[in-house]
Amino acid sequence: MYYFIEPMVEEDITQVQEIERASFPTPWSPNTYRRELRNPTASRYIVARASTTPPPPRNRFAPAPQRRSGLLGMLLPHLFGDNGVVNAYPLVGYGGLWLTIEEAHITTIAVAPEYRGQGVGELLLTGLIDQALDMQATMLTLEVRVSNVVAQSLYLKYGFQPVGKRPRYYTDNGEDALIMSTQSIRTPEYQQQLSELRRNLFARLRSQAEGRGSPTDGRGRGAEHNHFTFNW
């Protein structure tokens, strides 16, 4: 299976909410998403799509698409068919962030249950980091359930560190939220780390798409394959 990132559009909201209802106890309203999408200077939302084969080449005479994530450029440089339609590819995940001055806050990431554990969540995270860089943010923050140690381990991998807690933040069960934040994402050191993480993720996704499992596991099924078994 091949995965790629696209900007979320209003036509995606129904599919996004289906994934959201399968992932979170308190979904947003359609109008909330519409407001977010109509304010791209302060918020950015992306979706992940799946394809059993690489999508067909984009018509060279078609209008240029919007800027896409750096990882997407490596994975699938030609996403659109001759008619410019991408919705033939199922939407399998989404994510979003807000910009406050120079700080980008990740608001949500979720992956459809049947596509979890395949690196889609990590792909979305790298896409959101690209969006933050595009919006000239210097750092990223987020909240994550204190019990969600798997998600926390991925965030740690991408330079997020615990900086505090929000008591009883989650209304469904009163669980605390762990606040995590990066240092500057614009330093050469972070950019080098991000490039290496992209290469590793690209190798993993390419290996999965070619049916070879993860390159990190000589048994043919990646040792990390079950690492991403959370709601995004």
**Contact between 99 and 36 (Cβ < 8 Å):** no
pLDDT value of position 55: 58
Task: Give 123's contacts (C-beta < 8 A, 6+ positions apart).
Answer: 3, 5, 48, 71, 93, 201, 205
pLDDT value of position 65: 40
pTM of model > 0.85: no
pLDDT value of position 87: 60
pLDDT value of position 163: 97
Q: Which residues are catalytic?
A: 143, 155
pLDDT value of position 172: 87
Task: Give 103's contacts (C-beta < 8 A, 6+ positions apart).
Answer: 137, 138, 139, 140, 141
Task: Give per-residue burial for 50-83: e unless 16+ CB within 10 Å, then b.
Answer: bbeeebeebeeeeeeeeebbbbbeebbeebbbee
- CATH code matching the domain that covers 2-138+184-209, chosen among 3.40.50.300, 2.60.40.10, 3.40.630.30, 3.40.50.150: 3.40.630.30
- Alpha-carbon distance of 5 to 18, in angstroms, equals 18
pLDDT tens by residue, 51-62:
888 755 443 323
pLDDT value of position 216: 42
Per-residue pLDDT of the chain in tens (232 residues, 90 and over written 9): 899 999 999 999 999 999 999 999 889 999 999 999 999 999 999 999 998 887 554 433 233 344 444 444 444 433 333 334 446 789 999 999 999 999 999 999 999 999 998 999 999 999 999 999 999 999 999 999 999 998 999 999 999 999 999 999 998 899 999 999 999 999 999 999 999 999 999 999 999 988 875 544 333 322 222 222 233 3
